Structure 1
Amino acid sequence: MTLKLRSAGTSDRGLIRSGNQDALHAGSWLVAVADGMGGMAAGDLASAIAIEAVAPLDVATPEDALVAALQSGIQLATNRIRQAVAEDPQRQGMGTTLTALLFARTGSCLALAHVGDSRAYLFREGVLKQITRDDTFVQMLVDQGLITPDQAGSHPRRAVVTQALQGDEVSPTYATMVPRAGDRWLLCSDGLSNVVRAETLSEVLAGHPDREACTRALIDLALRAGGPDNITVVVADVADEP
């Protein structure tokens, strides 16, 4: 038996925004979420560029090449965003978050790349753990002990990111992990994580075995909480299959 990745993704504009600046990829080897910023057209473009740059990584990749593949995808996204800004100076300041998970062809390893405040959570044996660390001003305050995580959720500057893909050099976080059968991954934009508590996320992930239904249930919760931002959700299960 070999571990396989099975995924589903959904995105919603939310109830306030006039457009959707998020983008996603939900494949057999790669899942990714990007949340664009910097004005409507530019935000749309930046997140689309990021997802288009990493989407070709959705192939069977050797485990020792996972991180290098993600690094090359992020470098390509950075170069393309820089080029897009050069072509139209009005795009100056556009950028996007990117959180991506790449599964090895053997099923024995996965790699995660992260920049910005879109999140990756691992739901394993009934316990939800946030794997990524937000690149945000309020997370810096939390790390310094100046505010609590609960205070961060309502802080007026909670949307200020300290890192994003904007055409400049960045320092993404990379990590590798050993997957287990039964693992469930949740990748999401802050349109979900800012308005739905982790305890509720855990309940929904546990209560909806069908991935498509799970993504819809999570988006519905964010909408019921006011839907102040675009909401993007990818649910990926690690399955033990022949």
Structure 2
Amino acid sequence: MTLKLRSVGTSDRGLIRSGNQDAMHSGAWLVAVADGMGGMAAGDLASRIAIDAVAPLDVETPEDALVAALQTGIELATARIHQAVEEDRERQGMGTTLTALLFSRTGSCLALAHVGDSRAYLFRDSILKQVTRDDTFVQMLVDQGVISPEEASSHPRRAVVTQALQGEQVSPSYATMVPRVGDRWLLCSDGLSNVVRPDTLTEVLRETPDRDACARRLIDLALRAGGPDNITVLIADVVDE
């Protein structure tokens, strides 16, 4: 049995923003979502730099080199963002989230890298699990027991990110997992996760097997919920070929 990753991605500006600061990569070995911040032009640039830095990882990679490859990609993104800020001081403060999943050449392992508040969810055996942890002020309050997860979803400071790729030292989280046939991964920017409930995400992922239709349906739901932010959705299925 040879497991493969099959992915599609789509992005929408939303109903409020004048442009789209999200960027993504949907490939055979690598899927990634980045959500830029720090002003229109700078946010666009930061997210694109991050995706361009990790995109070359979309190649056959040995299991024992997955995390190191992602680390190298993030280090390159950090250096390039730092250089971009040095070239134009008005870009000071620009940054981007990054959530990336890299599949091994044998299909026996995958690695996940994450910084910021974009998310990776795993839909397995009809159960949806948020695999990444938000690098946000409200998540810190939840971890400390100050507020509940329900209160976090409507907290006025829920958009405050505590860590992002901004050209300085950063501490991304990394994880490795063993994929299974039938696994479905959802990577998204907070334009989806902030406005569409997890139970709704679960329903759509379960009832819409076609990847393109699933991604489009999730975008539509975010738009119906007001589309206050850019929305990026990436669906990746683990299949047996």
SS of the aligned residue for 1:185 comes to strand
User: Which runs of 5 or more structure 2 residues have no equivalent in the other structure?
Assistant: none
SS at match of 1:47: helix
| CA RMSD, 1 decimal | 0.3
Deviation at 1:193, TM superposition (A): 0.2
Deviation at 1:71, TM superposition (A): 0.1
Letter in 2 for 1:52: D
Instruction: Using structure 2 for the length normalisation, give the TM-score.
Output: 1.00
Structure 1 alignment gaps of length 5 or more: none
Partners of 1:43 and 1:196 lie apart in 2 by 23
Q: Which runs of 4+ in 1 moved over 6 A?
A: none
Which residue of the partner structure matches residue 176 of structure 1?
Answer: 176
CA distance in 1, matches of 2:121, 2:228: 21
Name the structure 2 match of 1:63: 63
The corresponding residue for 1:92 is 92
TM-score of the aligned structures, taking structure 1 as reference length: 0.99
Note the 1:1-80 alignment, pairs <5 A: 1-80=1-80
Q: Distance in 2 between matches of 1:186 and 1:150?
A: 21
Identity of aligned residues (%): 83
Q: Post-superposition shift, 1:119?
A: 0.2
Task: Give the residue type in structure 1 aligned to 2:180.
Answer: R
Which residue is 1:125 aligned to?
A: 125
- The yes-or-no answer on 1:159 pairing with 2:159 is yes
SS in 2 for 1:154: coil
1:135-150 correspondence runs (5 A):
135-150=135-150
Give the letter for the 2:34 counterpart.
A
Count residues in correspondence. 241
Q: CA deviation at 1:186?
A: 0.2
Find out whether 1:230 has 2:230 as its counterpart. yes
SS in structure 1 of the partner of residue 44 of structure 2: helix
Within 2, Cα distance between the matches of 1:93 and 1:161? 12
Q: Does 1:81 align with 2:75?
A: no
Instruction: Quote the Cα distance in structure 2 between the aligned partners of 1:173 and 1:151.
Output: 25
> How far 1:41 sits from its partner (Å)?
0.1
How far did residue 29 of structure 1 move?
0.1
Q: Which amino acid aligns with 1:142?
A: V
Q: What is the distance in 2 between the residues matched to 1:107 and 1:12?
A: 31
Write the distance in 1 (CA, Å) between the matches of 2:45 and 2:215.
Answer: 24
